[in-house]
Structure 1
Amino acid sequence: MIRSMTAFASGERATPWGTFGCELRSVNHRFLELGVRLADELRVLEPALRERIAARVGRGKLDLTLRLRAPEGGDALQLNPSRLRELSDLAIDLSARFPALRTEFTELLQFPGVLQAQATDPAALQAEALALLDDVLDEFVASREREGGKLAAAIGERVDGIERIAGEVRAMMPAIRAGQRAKLETRLADLAQPADNGRLEQELVLWLQKLDVEEELDRLNAHVAEARRVLKLREAVGRRLDFLLQEFNREANTLGSKSVDARSSAAAVELKVLIDQAREQIQNIE
């Protein structure tokens, strides 16, 4: 399945300790490069997060953000009953000796241990974070595949165009060779001194061999077949397609250098245009 390297996905997950928010975005890159921004409580998870992403993403510059928003009502502070009981017993014991002793409620709350934050289960917290990442990764990969399908279709159209032009050049070559032969024979006929027919025929054959592009056309057709095969693979194929484009370009350059006819020259130019268009699309493929 062809995948684009450009994608974005996000999600949220409510937990007893707050709401997780996760964002994952990527752009083109030669290799896999991951930047991570995590809440302090989740920094211990960074190796596991990187491992999960690397298992499903092959290339691209990715940015992962994972944050934890506190629940409504702040940090969900609770009274510590046992601590209050200790303070109450102490106040009763001291009241006989200090009749004027008064304790304000707000002062009581400031006494260490009276208020405590809701206990956090680190293992459960981390499990929730990883579960959210898995959900976001599912959407992220699906987004890459949807965009990859569009890229594959665009590349396939260019490959079809390359095959069409190669066929047109193959069809026109007999007429081009005949025209070049007639042209050369006309020039030889204008020579003041008659030339040896055997030698002329030999030179003519050598000249026409230099113009022959059958091998280049055969290789173009082979590259077309390989490109179509690669586009159907269920793996990262960006580098393989990029190499194939280099081979396409080499054959197009050879066709252009061997051309002695305006029609084949125009075909070589059109081939290079299609190859460049395909290359632009391939730069976005994982």
Structure 2
Amino acid sequence: MALSSMTGFARSHGHSGPYTFEWELKSVNAKGLDIRLRLPPGWDDVEPQLRKRATEVLARGTVYANLTVKRASAAQVVRVNEDVLASVLKVAGDLSARTGAAAPTVDGLLALKGVIEVVEPDSDEAEEQAARGAVLAAFETVLASVVEMRRREGAALGQILGQRLEEIERLAARADAAPGRKPEAIRARLAEQVAVLLETSDRFDPDRLSQEALMIAAKADIREELDRIASHVVQARDLLRKGGAVGRRLDFLAQEFNREVNTTCSKANDIELTNTGLEMKNVVEQFREQVQNLE
């Protein structure tokens, strides 16, 4: 499977009958998958299908999906309110019978408030269903565009992470070969320190000092840390090769890298090894920052 980042953007326009619509999708980094839909009034019934489809193709990220729908203006319909007209005619007939006044004219009746109504045309159910189908199809298209963008960025991130692993491996090899961590160098340095202590006081036991020196030398050995760093490099490369939603596992490995490098720095017994450890720590931090963008 391909690697994917968690960032992407796509927009899609479409129309169906009197309806025009626009989809806008944007995804950003997140610990899990959070789909946030904004739909116009009356379109809530399509939300379950949209949400289900998004969860099928995305594993992580906050996804903002915004739908805008407009219906083209149709000719308004003029109609007579039969109930109001009947009431007006009844009142007019009663008044005419009682007063002998002339019956109301048509234009007079039409001028009365409430007799004539101007309304929007009734919606067409078939047109609405067709529009919903078009909106769902457009969502598939725009979602596929976001997925493709995330994969392209994921491929670029994979190359960057591979380079960082090579740097970590190179620096670990340099630390392993550092003259300061060779047994003879450690012994010579400790011997000098023991000699200085013996010269300053006659209360030190040489045998005891030798034992302490051996313990210090054992604690200063970074072989175990370097072995674990090498193992983490192998695991990270394997995850990058397999692809898919591996961001969380790579993030865990980044934390493990950081832990081993910190221990290496704390055990460093000369300036060259310390500088190498600090340089490795910087590369591990760059690795961790890039991993935060992976799905």
Structure 2 length as normaliser, TM-score? 0.78
- The structure 1 residue matched to 2:253, chosen from 244, 248, 258, is 244
Partner Cα separation in structure 2 for residue 69 and residue 116 of structure 1: 15
Superposed displacement of residue 206, structure 1: 3.2
Q: Look up the match of 2:16.
A: 15
Partner Cα separation in structure 2 for residue 134 and residue 58 of structure 1: 16
AA of the residue aligned to 2:289:
E
Work out whether residues 19 and 131 of structure 2, in 8 Å CA contact, stay in contact via their aligned partners in 1: no
CA deviation profile, 1:205-232 (whole Å, cap 9, x unmatched): 4332222111111110110011111112
Q: Look up the match of 1:217.
A: 226
Superposed displacement of residue 169, structure 1: 0.9
Partner Cα separation in structure 2 for residue 105 and residue 234 of structure 1: 73
* 1:189–1:101 CA distance, 2 compared to 1 (3 A): closer
Q: Look up the match of 2:49.
A: 48
Q: Look up the match of 1:134.
A: 140
Give the secondary-structure state (helix, strand or coil) at the position aligned to 1:55: helix
Range 110-119 or range 219-228, more displaced: 110-119
* 1:47–1:176 CA distance, 2 compared to 1 (3 A): same
Superposed displacement of residue 249, structure 1: 0.8
- The structure 1 residue matched to 2:216, chosen from 203, 207, 211, is 207
CA deviation profile, 1:97-122 (whole Å, cap 9, x unmatched): x9x75699999xx9569973462424
Work out whether residues 164 and 284 of structure 2, in 8 Å CA contact, stay in contact via their aligned partners in 1: yes
Partner Cα separation in structure 2 for residue 113 and residue 203 of structure 1: 100
Give the secondary-structure state (helix, strand or coil) at the position aligned to 1:116: coil
* 1:103–1:49 CA distance, 2 compared to 1 (3 A): farther
Work out whether residues 27 and 64 of structure 2, in 8 Å CA contact, stay in contact via their aligned partners in 1: yes
Partner Cα separation in structure 1 for residue 53 and residue 220 of structure 2: 55
AA of the residue aligned to 2:269:
V
Partner Cα separation in structure 1 for residue 24 and residue 120 of structure 2: 34
Please tell me whether residue 70 in structure 1 is matched to residue 76 in structure 2. no
Work out whether residues 15 and 131 of structure 2, in 8 Å CA contact, stay in contact via their aligned partners in 1: no
Taking only aligned residues, the RMSD between alpha carbons, in angstroms, comes to 3.3
Superposed displacement of residue 177, structure 1: 2.9
Number of aligned positions between the proteins: 265
Q: Look up the match of 1:35.
A: 36
Partner Cα separation in structure 2 for residue 179 and residue 115 of structure 1: 93
Partner Cα separation in structure 2 for residue 183 and residue 115 of structure 1: 94
Q: Look up the match of 2:124.
A: 119
Partner Cα separation in structure 2 for residue 4 and residue 115 of structure 1: 47
Partner Cα separation in structure 2 for residue 26 and residue 175 of structure 1: 48
Could you tell me which runs of 5 or more consecutive residues in structure 2 were left unpaired when the two chains were aligned.
81-102
* 1:175–1:57 CA distance, 2 compared to 1 (3 A): closer
AA of the residue aligned to 2:124:
A
Superposed displacement of residue 52, structure 1: 1.0
Work out whether residues 24 and 64 of structure 1, in 8 Å CA contact, stay in contact via their aligned partners in 2: yes
Partner Cα separation in structure 1 for residue 151 and residue 54 of structure 2: 16
Superposed displacement of residue 41, structure 1: 3.2
Partner Cα separation in structure 1 for residue 119 and residue 219 of structure 2: 95
Superposed displacement of residue 263, structure 1: 0.9
* 1:77–1:41 CA distance, 2 compared to 1 (3 A): farther
Q: Look up the match of 2:86.
A: none
Q: Look up the match of 2:155.
A: 149
Give the secondary-structure state (helix, strand or coil) at the position aligned to 1:253: helix
AA of the residue aligned to 1:126:
R
Work out whether residues 176 and 261 of structure 1, in 8 Å CA contact, stay in contact via their aligned partners in 2: no
Structure 1 length as normaliser, TM-score? 0.80
Could you tell me which runs of 5 or more consecutive residues in structure 1 were left unpaired when the two chains were aligned.
85-97
Identity of counterpart residues, as a percentage?
A: 36
Range 260-269 or range 112-121, more displaced: 112-121
CA deviation profile, 1:20-70 (whole Å, cap 9, x unmatched): 200011221112122211122321111111111111111112211112122
Range 29-38 or range 219-228, more displaced: 29-38
Superposed displacement of residue 202, structure 1: 5.3
Range 179-188 or range 139-148, more displaced: 179-188
Q: Look up the match of 2:95.
A: none
- The structure 1 residue matched to 2:191, chosen from 175, 185, 202, is 185
* 1:175–1:54 CA distance, 2 compared to 1 (3 A): closer
